[in-house]
Amino acid sequence: MTQSVAPRRVAYDTEEFAPSPADLPDVAAAVSRETPELPVPDATRVIVIANQKGGVGKTTTAVNLAAGLAAGGLSVLVIDLDPQGNASTALGVAHESGIAGTYEVLIDGAPIERHVQHSPEAANLWVLPATIDLAGAEIGLVDVPGRESRLLRAIERLTARHRIDYIFIDCPPSLGLLTLNALVAARELLVPIQCEYYALEGVSQLLRTIDMVKGTMNDRLRLSTIVLTMYDARTRLSAQVANEVRTHFAAETLPTAIPRSVRVSEAPSYGQTVITYHRASAGAQAYLAAAEELARRGSTAKGRR
Ligand code: ADP
Ligand code: MG
């Protein structure tokens, strides 16, 4: 790896978890042509990643699928809709309080392209960052006209001018106005399900919310994809949960389950996805496989490009 990679961490120079240049991983691997070119969808696929349970792998799945698709040559935008800004962190973009991003788009009606940042994780990967200020948007939106469709309008304006293959919207763990904006803006819902006890708890509530949104605000929304996360091959429980999910959601569940992996959980503390942090790890390979499955499914549903 050459020194040209060093500036990619400039945003973290003053932060205590900044890796030294010697620790920087081989980012070139992420944009190499090792990964086969993935199929390009006919139109932008807008995918909301939601599950009102916290800690099930929403953000991890959003950033790693995004990085996997971008590594496969596709153009990808991640919209961080969680005031915690975990997706912004993992994708290596600045999101301190005061930095413009999702808040300005939702509340002020700013165009998305004005506030996106390029992620150092891949050539064609962009992020609309979230700061803690976004926590106020849940209340700030209440008095804004068309409050449920602010994100939809912003995405429509963006995609009318720019060719983007995938837009992932990473939701907070709640079913408030922020998540509602995402459900109204998206065509596809992707639900990560953690292979643990009570995995399906909350999924039925989420599905009822989807039905409500479909019936009133967004007819086009459909549950397209389920990703099994934190699968532990050593436990019978993981296998049981995975079987149960595959029985309930046979068509939607991706064949690849994401294994529980220390590399996956370490990557965000370096401001990275596992795809660049440790591409050879089981977690990175699983997310690359899942990204490819997602891309191929989308293209067979739509026909060849
Ligand atoms: P959510 O966005 O749903 O709250 P996260 O993606 O932040 O969930 O994941 C919750 C925690 O689990 C994080 O600390 C994350 O690093 C960890 N995690 C997620 N997926 C994995 C995995 N496959 N292996 C190990 N840890 C994981
Ligand atoms: Mg999250």
Residue 96 has pLDDT above 70, yes or no: yes
Residue 206 has a pLDDT of 86
- Least Cα distance to 272 among 91, 61, 118 occurs for 91
Q: Which atom of ligand 1 is nearest to the CA of 268?
A: 16
Residue 19 has pLDDT above 80, yes or no: no
What ligand is nearest to the CA atom of residue 238?
1
150 Cβ below 6 A of ligand 1: no
124 Cβ below 6 A of ligand 1: no
Residue 14 has pLDDT above 90, yes or no: no
DSSP 151-212: HHHHHHHHHHHS--SEEEEEPPSS-SHHHHHHHHH-SEEEEEEESSTTTTTTHHHHHHHHHH
Contact between residue 196 and residue 244 where contact means Cβ atoms under 8 Å apart: no
Distance 60 CA to ligand 1 centre (A): 6
Q: Which atom of ligand 1 is nearest to the CA of 266?
A: 16
39 Cβ below 6 A of ligand 1: no
Residue 160 has pLDDT above 90, yes or no: yes
Report, as an integer, the average pLDDT of 142-165: 95
How do residues 59-94 score in pLDDT, each as one tens digit?
999 999 999 999 999 999 999 999 999 999 999 999
The pLDDT confidence band at residue 7, using thresholds 50, 70 and 90, is very low
Q: What percent of the chain has pLDDT over 90?
A: 76
Instruction: Quote the mean pLDDT of the chain.
Output: 87
Residue 241 has pLDDT above 70, yes or no: yes
DSSP 82-108: -TT-HHHHHTT----TT--SHHIIIII
Q: Look at the chain and count its residues.
A: 305
Q: Give me the residues near ligand 2 (ion), CB cutoff below 5 Å.
A: 58-59, 86
Q: Is 231 helix (H, G, I), strand (E, B) or coil?
A: strand
The pLDDT confidence band at residue 304, using thresholds 50, 70 and 90, is very low
Contact between residue 79 and residue 104 where contact means Cβ atoms under 8 Å apart: no
How many other C-beta atoms can be found within 10 angstroms of the C-beta atom of residue 260?
21
How do residues 50-65 score in pLDDT, each as one tens digit?
998 899 999 999 999 9
21 Cβ below 6 A of ligand 1: no
Token code pair at residue 66: 């995004």
Name the pTM for this structure: 0.87
Which residues does 77 contact at the CB level (< 8 Å), separation at least 6? 112, 116, 125, 126, 127, 128, 158, 164, 166, 167, 168
Distance 212 CA to ligand 2 centre (A): 23
CATH assignment, 40-296:
3.40.50.300
Distance 208 CA to ligand 2 centre (A): 21
Nearest Cα residue to atom 26 of ligand 1? 265
Q: Would you give the DSSP letter of residue 259?
A: B
Rounded Cα distance between 204 and 8, Å, is 42
Residue 204 has pLDDT above 90, yes or no: no
What ligand is nearest to the CA atom of residue 80?
2
264 Cβ below 6 A of ligand 1: yes
Contact between residue 255 and residue 225 where contact means Cβ atoms under 8 Å apart: no
How many other C-beta atoms can be found within 10 angstroms of the C-beta atom of residue 206?
19
Dihedral in degrees, nearest 10, Cα atoms 83, 205, 287, 1? 0
Rounded Cα distance between 25 and 28, Å, is 9
Residue 199 has pLDDT above 90, yes or no: no
Nearest Cα residue to atom 1 of ligand 1? 55
